[in-house]
Structure 1
Amino acid sequence: MPTSEIQLLFDLGLIVMAAAAFAFIGKVIRVPSLVGYIIAGIFIGPILQWVQIDHSLELISELGIALLLFLVGLELSLKKIRDLGKVGLILGVFQITLTGASAFILATALGVAPIASIFIAGTLTFSSTVVVIKLLDKKGEMRRLYARISVALFLAQDIVIIIALTVLSGLGAEADFELGGIIKNVAAAFGGMTILLLVVLFSARYVLPLPFRWAANSPDTLFIWALCWCFLIVLLAHQFHLSLEIGAFLGGIAIAQLPIHGDLHRRLHPLMTFFIAIFLVTLGIRMEFGHLTTIWPIAISLCAFVLLAKPLIVFFILARMRFSEYTAFQTAIATAQVSEFSFILLALGASAGLISSEIVSLGGLVGILTIAASSYMILYSERLYEMLQATGLLRYFGAIQRPDAEADCKWSNHIVVVGMNALGREIVARLNQNGESVLAIDTDPKKLEGLMPATTIIGNVEYESLVDEFALHKAKLVVSALQIEDVNHLLAYRCRNAGVPCAIHAFDVSMVEDLLDLGTAYLLMPAMDGVVRQRQVMHTEGVIEK
């Protein structure tokens, strides 16, 4: 095996092992894993010099960023934020304008050149969708109002930054910066972007639903098709001379509009966790301390802006929009970091010769510090809110004090039926007739048709995120009609831990003892019931004696 390939495997192995080690250490000392990943990168990179970013690792890193942005796009379902689209638009316009202008003024006042100040302002203005969603998902608050407002804001931000990346892709590495050449290249980039966007929207509406619906009952097929679609759009983006990150992001947004996007997101969640780790570790590895002595005073000032001024701007806007103090505060805290797109913005600016490596290092340092600090702020936002509320400082912003009407968990005292085979569909039909609140779950969308008024979810109950989604702890009963032994055991185990009675399909007599040990309340044994019923009929007809 060539030396370069051995070195690549060695570097990847070190990155993964360092991420795992520092995530474990972080768990022991209660440091967020995202912070641990960044520290791991700094440790094996600038400090120990074990890993250097060479061409091969650069390609792997770029591929990881593309897939990460594909997963970010997959989070942005318009259906989720349909009721908050206007809020996201208004908040986005004012937040981007005020934050960008303030950041530009601050950077200029700190002695940064005007062109570089524009890039610094862009870096500070946008927030990280992937980091915030990861942390809010960990807190179990993705359904809260402030979380949905945050996602709506991030969608507005992402639209703006995609436009900025399109402009930079048009500039490319143009050395002479002649006006005619710049206009031609930028116009070509926007033309390609328009065509790509039309292809994505058309496909999401008319092309993708049928094949993805067909593939939904096969987890492996669905997974491969999603990645195939991602790379197809990346290839189209490359043909139009756009950055691959734009293509990956738009590919994710297209799939996010499909009915199966929730199930696909759950399947890809481990992959997202992996690429977040790779992204943050390589971010730490890229950290250059050569410029540290000159940039650290500016970096501290910019970090203070991101962690304090930027949330204050968002808090002020939401207060003026008549949201409650709590919602405005929690949304504001969620914006206190820079976006993963910001690193791409800086890289493209440097490749176009618009900014120096020192500015890239400055933006990278601010990104690392703010992502690390905001991880704590988001995870402990409740305590932070209580502390500031006790001081009375938040009242000066004029936000209303009464709580906003939260979208309460719609699942309570409901019956969950898993597996829409003949048995499962019959159970759902009978429960519907009895007027029960029924939630039917299956991995195949076709099997969920015709079950009204029951609510249906496409998904696999093996994923804990789906269990959280249908509020297992609030269910009245869980019924599994599945003929998959391992899944039935897992479901029975989770029901026991949640204190919810369950009825499990014991399709084989050998399962009975294990299911009873797991605390199963009811055993569904249609085969055994059929034998008993058959014996009763035969006795009635005089075929056999009692």
Structure 2
Amino acid sequence: MESGSLLFSFFLIFSGAAVLASAALFTRQPLIVAYIVLGAVFGPYGAELVTDTGLLNDIAHVGIIFLLFLLGLDMQPAHLAHLLKKTATVGLLSSAVFAAAGYLMGCLFGFTQTEAIICGATMMFSSTIIGIKLLPTTVLHHKHTGELLVSLLLLQDLMAILVLLLLYNFDGGFSNSRFDILMAMAALPLLILCAFLAVKLLLLPLMAKFDRFHEYLFLLAIGWCLGFAELAHALNLSYEIGAFIAGISIATSPIAQYIAINLKPLRDFFLVLFFFSIGASFNLSLLGEVFIPALAMSVVCMVMKPGIFGLLLKRVSEKKSTAWEVGFRLGQTSEFSILIAVLAAGQMLLGEIASHVIQATAIMTLILSSYVVVFRFESPIAINEKLRRD
């Protein structure tokens, strides 16, 4: 894509987003819906005004990386480890239930065995981007509810990485995939150790020495985030895991909140592109064929996930109100589901219809669950003034 066409794409995306966001606020709709609709309208399956969605997907991915980095900045390592230990049972049991439900739904709609298994896998995950985007950063991140939500999402992210590794290495056979997964899991503690040592020996001394130069601190934070994202990717882990480790490694530093505040506008810039790319990736000509299966899967997902999470969290001594709130906030499938569907279709493991059913389910649940959270719980974009928290 030439620089002129990239500039024109940015003009369309952000000018259009500003117009639709204004309409969304006047009509009390979540802003996320406006960005997804804009992608569908301007994308290659709509008006074809923005066609290089591959480049936009790569750019938008940076938003997720920054989101996980900022999330890490708000988490204390010792407390996170305690929560992961507590939520491991809930995360694993709930994922098994969701996978079974997705598999049965796939069989019901006539998918092949492989397609049904992949359909089940995509039902296991909830959206990190929705869960965290609708979480008040100055309130819930420092409360038990937010930390519980985050620990479950991180556990799901680790499982999503395992699924992606299997798909990425499918051509090499199962034994090769198993080797890569074992290598990635072995690399994780080494990456964590490397991060904490580098913070203590290099990053914090540099920040302390040049703390008067705000531009330098800003660049150092971005370099730290993207550097560990790339390092994690080189070790067969995900960019997101690397960014989260980069954030949590400096969470106990006094500079963490300064970095978080200054990176939020950059994160929001890329997240607009992310939601636009979700809408733009969907082939609207297949809507008639995939709408009924996707609607059925969306209903099952949004009814089942709050109930299962609520039940399991209450069994581990969580308050009823906390358990249900976490369940509703996780009541959707994930951006990982879309990525898995696209990748599996490229590996010829999914047909076009099955792939688009999974993608449509993700888009529907992302939108509908956003409405549920925005109207019922505290969030930065809540419709009710009493529920609006940043």
- TM-score range (shorter-chain normalised) is 0.7 to 0.9
Distance 1:349 1:72 in 2: 29
> Residues 262 and 112 from structure 1, CA distance in 2 versus in 1: closer, same or farther, beyond 3 angstroms?
farther
Consecutive unaligned residues of structure 1, counting only runs of 5 or more, are 384-464, 469-546
SS for the counterpart of 2:275 is: helix
Distance 2:58 2:29 in 1: 30
Counterpart selection for 2:315 from 317, 320, 340: 320
Alignment of 1:386-425 (within 5 A): none
SS for the counterpart of 2:285 is: coil
Q: How far apart are 1:280 and its partner, in Å?
A: 0.3
Pairing 1:230–2:225 present: yes
Pairing 1:368–2:363 present: yes
Q: How far apart are 1:287 and its partner, in Å?
A: 1.3
> Residues 112 and 207 from structure 1, CA distance in 2 versus in 1: closer, same or farther, beyond 3 angstroms?
farther
> Residues 192 and 16 from structure 1, CA distance in 2 versus in 1: closer, same or farther, beyond 3 angstroms?
same
Given residue 262 of structure 2, which amino acid in structure 1 is its aligned partner?
R
Distance 2:183 2:85 in 1: 31
| 8 Å CA contact retained: 2:74, 2:142 | no
How big is each residue's C-alpha offset from its partner over 1:355-389, in whole Å with a ceiling of 9 and x where there is no partner? Answer: 34433322221121111111111122259xxxxxx
Alignment of 1:255-334 (within 5 A): 255-256=250-251, 258-334=253-329
Q: Which moved more, 1:327-336 or 1:250-259?
A: 250-259
The RMSD of aligned alpha carbons is: 3.2
Distance 1:240 1:81 in 2: 23
Distance 2:244 2:352 in 1: 26
> Residues 194 and 324 from structure 1, CA distance in 2 versus in 1: closer, same or farther, beyond 3 angstroms?
closer
| 8 Å CA contact retained: 1:166, 1:193 | no
Corresponding residue of 1:52: 51
> Residues 222 and 163 from structure 1, CA distance in 2 versus in 1: closer, same or farther, beyond 3 angstroms?
farther
Consecutive unaligned residues of structure 2, counting only runs of 5 or more, are 379-388
Distance 1:135 1:250 in 2: 22
SS for the counterpart of 1:112 is: coil
Q: Which moved more, 1:14-23 or 1:214-223?
A: 214-223
Q: How far apart are 1:12 and its partner, in Å?
A: 1.7
Q: Which moved more, 1:92-101 or 1:7-16?
A: 92-101
| 8 Å CA contact retained: 1:76, 1:155 | no
Q: Which moved more, 1:72-81 or 1:264-273?
A: 72-81
> Residues 66 and 146 from structure 1, CA distance in 2 versus in 1: closer, same or farther, beyond 3 angstroms?
closer
> Residues 209 and 158 from structure 1, CA distance in 2 versus in 1: closer, same or farther, beyond 3 angstroms?
farther
SS for the counterpart of 2:331 is: coil
Q: Percent identity?
A: 27
Corresponding residue of 2:381: none
TM-score, normalization: structure 1?
Answer: 0.62
Given residue 88 of structure 2, which amino acid in structure 1 is its aligned partner?
L
Alignment of 1:500-519 (within 5 A): none
SS for the counterpart of 1:136 is: coil
Larger radius of gyration: 1
Which of the two has greater strand per residue? Answer: 1
Which of the two has greater helix per residue? Answer: 2
TM-score, normalization: structure 2?
Answer: 0.83
Distance 1:326 1:200 in 2: 36
Q: How many residues align?
A: 379
> Residues 87 and 240 from structure 1, CA distance in 2 versus in 1: closer, same or farther, beyond 3 angstroms?
closer
> Residues 185 and 147 from structure 1, CA distance in 2 versus in 1: closer, same or farther, beyond 3 angstroms?
closer
Q: How far apart are 1:283 and its partner, in Å?
A: 0.8
> Residues 150 and 190 from structure 1, CA distance in 2 versus in 1: closer, same or farther, beyond 3 angstroms?
closer
Distance 2:344 2:189 in 1: 22
How big is each residue's C-alpha offset from its partner over 1:38-93, in whole Å with a ceiling of 9 and x where there is no partner? Answer: 11111222332221135544443444444444445545543564664443233222
Distance 1:271 1:89 in 2: 32
| 8 Å CA contact retained: 1:126, 1:342 | yes
How big is each residue's C-alpha offset from its partner over 1:226-277, in whole Å with a ceiling of 9 and x where there is no partner? Answer: 2112232243345445554554444344444544323321211112222221
Given residue 298 of structure 1, which amino acid in structure 2 is its aligned partner?
P
